[in-house]
């Protein structure tokens, strides 16, 4: 069968009216909706892309599974930044054309279809649901995937989506919670699909006045990261039944490069790679070189971490001044708040009058909330904060 139909509320055209209202304000539209990076791509990445522009991997067909150099860079990054020795746990890896493609096609490439059930958080990234629907499988949403009793006895469960840090809430699952999910999934023969794209944007050890994740030197990586489903303590020393996704869009501002990867169960990765090869789901050769450079560039990730920490901290303070019960997220790039009016669309209308356009919580499964993105430049963040502070004092 071909792709099945999907039905989802994730429709950015719904913001058109709010964008028009915001654009007519003195400051124009202050866009805090889409989480698209705005900061420079690291120089190391740009140099690698240029150098590879006419190499064999550019004028010839690139490997679906990635060059030896890219695979080495991924393995090193996993070991140094996530504490995961992929060889030791029997993990394979395949690069993907961005993480959204990997998420959207995951259920299909795993062979799931009618009669199969895929668990996901009730409040989550909409593409999990869309990908399940496209495969013809059944979506089951639960309040908390770490509450394994809420899904382990559901007939037909084939996979469980995890997202930590969460988009949109920023919540982080502990290693113990992840271990519980992995153990329960293995008991019923289900896959664990762990989206860890925001892993390096971990704010739990940071304060407004202390960058506790400051680099010790050019070759060190002292940034903390959130727990991984492939960590030895979580997976009990085996990647069996686990697939982890990561993207360079957030840590290295490479959203337009479409650079991500899936790591985990080697046998499953091998089967998926065969399909990916036939479908032409291959990262372009020069981009593979750029991706390897991004994974190795420690200092640029520290720089980006500090940018996002500053912006999030500023947004949280201004949103509180306006009247929201806002808090620094545990991880990720977004401030998630309950709507003051109880309905995200009423708040969207009020904020548009200030020039501000966040994301409605309805897109993520919570119509009583809003998501404010820190993926805007410092000037835009300051405009938003000033508008919120002025309105809050009225």
pLDDT tens figures, 16-36: 999 999 999 998 999 999 989
- pTM for the complete prediction? 0.93
Domain 12-40+300-392: give its CATH architecture.
Answer: Alpha-Beta Complex (3.90)
pLDDT tens figures, 313-325: 999 999 999 999 9
Helix ranges restricted to H, 116-255: 126-135, 175-187, 232-235, 248-251
Instruction: Show Cβ contacts of residue 93 under 8 Å, excluding neighbours closer than 6 positions.
Output: 65, 66, 71, 74, 75, 86, 261, 262, 263, 269
* All structural domains of the chain with their residue ranges: 12-40+300-392, 60-297
- Provide the pLDDT for residue 221: 45
* Average of per-residue pLDDT across 59-86: 94
Q: Check pLDDT > 50 for residue 393.
A: yes
Q: Check pLDDT > 90 for residue 230.
A: yes
Q: Check pLDDT > 50 for residue 175.
A: yes
In whole numbers, what is the pLDDT of the chain averaged over residues?
93
Question: Predicted confidence band at 222 (pLDDT cuts at 50, 70, 90)?
Answer: low
Q: How many CB atoms lie within 10 A of CB 306?
A: 14
pLDDT tens figures, 339-385: 999 999 999 999 999 999 999 999 999 999 999 999 999 999 999 99
pLDDT tens figures, 105-135: 999 999 999 999 999 999 999 999 999 999 9
- Provide the pLDDT for residue 99: 94
Q: How many CB atoms lie within 10 A of CB 10?
A: 16
Q: Which CATH number fits domain 60-297: 3.40.228.10, 3.30.470.20, 3.90.870.20, 3.40.640.10?
A: 3.40.640.10
What percentage of the chain has pLDDT greater than the value 70? 95
- Structure tokens given for 116: 């199969």
Question: Predicted confidence band at 76 (pLDDT cuts at 50, 70, 90)?
Answer: very high
pLDDT tens figures, 238-260: 999 999 999 999 999 999 999 99
pLDDT tens figures, 200-211: 999 997 643 344
Q: How many CB atoms lie within 10 A of CB 359?
A: 24
User: Are both 12-40+300-392 and 60-297 of the same fold?
Assistant: no
What percentage of the chain has pLDDT greater than the value 90? 88
- Provide the pLDDT for residue 218: 38
Q: Check pLDDT > 90 for residue 9.
A: no
DSSP class of residue 257? G
- Structure tokens given for 194: 């762990």
- Provide the pLDDT for residue 227: 95
Q: How many CB atoms lie within 10 A of CB 90?
A: 15
* Average of per-residue pLDDT across 45-55: 95
């Amino acid at each position: 069968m071909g792709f099945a139909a999907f039905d989802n509320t994730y429709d950015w055209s719904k913001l058109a009216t709010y964008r028009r209202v915001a654009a007519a304000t003195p400051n124009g539209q202050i866009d805090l909706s889409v989480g698209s990076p705005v900061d420079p791509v690291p120089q190391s990445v740009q140099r690698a892309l240029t150098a590879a522009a006419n190499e064999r991997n550019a004028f010839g067909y690139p490997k679906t599974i990635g060059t030896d150099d890219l695979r080495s860079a991924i393995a090193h990054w996993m070991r140094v930044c996530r504490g995961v020795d992929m060889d030791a746990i029997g993990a394979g890896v395949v690069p993907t054309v961005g993480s959204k493609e990997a998420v959207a096609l995951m259920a299909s490439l795993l062979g799931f279809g009618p009669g199969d059930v895929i668990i996901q958080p009730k409040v989550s990234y909409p593409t999990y649901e869309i990908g399940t629907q496209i495969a013809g499988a059944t979506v089951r949403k639960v309040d908390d995937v770490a509450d394994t009793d809420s899904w382990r006895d559901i007939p037909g469960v084939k996979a469980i989506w995890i997202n930590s840090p969460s988009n949109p809430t920023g919540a982080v699952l502990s290693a113990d919670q992840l271990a519980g999910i992995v153990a329960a999934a293995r008991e019923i023969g289900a896959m664990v699909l762990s989206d860890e794209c925001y892993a390096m944007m971990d704010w739990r050890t940071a304060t407004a006045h202390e960058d506790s994740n400051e680099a010790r030197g050019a070759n060190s990586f002292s940034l903390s990261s959130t727990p991984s489903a492939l960590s030895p303590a979580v997976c009990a020393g085996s990647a069996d039944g686990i697939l982890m996704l990561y993207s360079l869009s957030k840590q290295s501002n490479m959203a337009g490069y479409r650079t991500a990867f899936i790591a985990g169960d080697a046998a499953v990765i091998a089967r998926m790679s065969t399909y990916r090869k036939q479908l032409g789901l291959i990262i372009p050769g020069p981009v593979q070189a750029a991706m390897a450079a991004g994974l190795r560039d420690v200092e640029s990730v520290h720089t980006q971490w500090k940018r996002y920490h500053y912006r999030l901290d500023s947004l949280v303070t201004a949103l509180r001044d306006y009247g929201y019960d806002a808090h620094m997220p545990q991880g990720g790039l977004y401030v998630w708040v309950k709507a003051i009016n109880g309905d995200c669309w009423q708040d969207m209308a009020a904020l548009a009058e200030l020039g501000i356009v966040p994301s409605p919580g309805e897109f993520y499964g919570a119509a009583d909330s809003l998501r404010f993105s820190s993926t805007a430049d410092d000037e835009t963040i300051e405009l938003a904060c000033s508008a919120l502070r002025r309105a809050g004092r009225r």
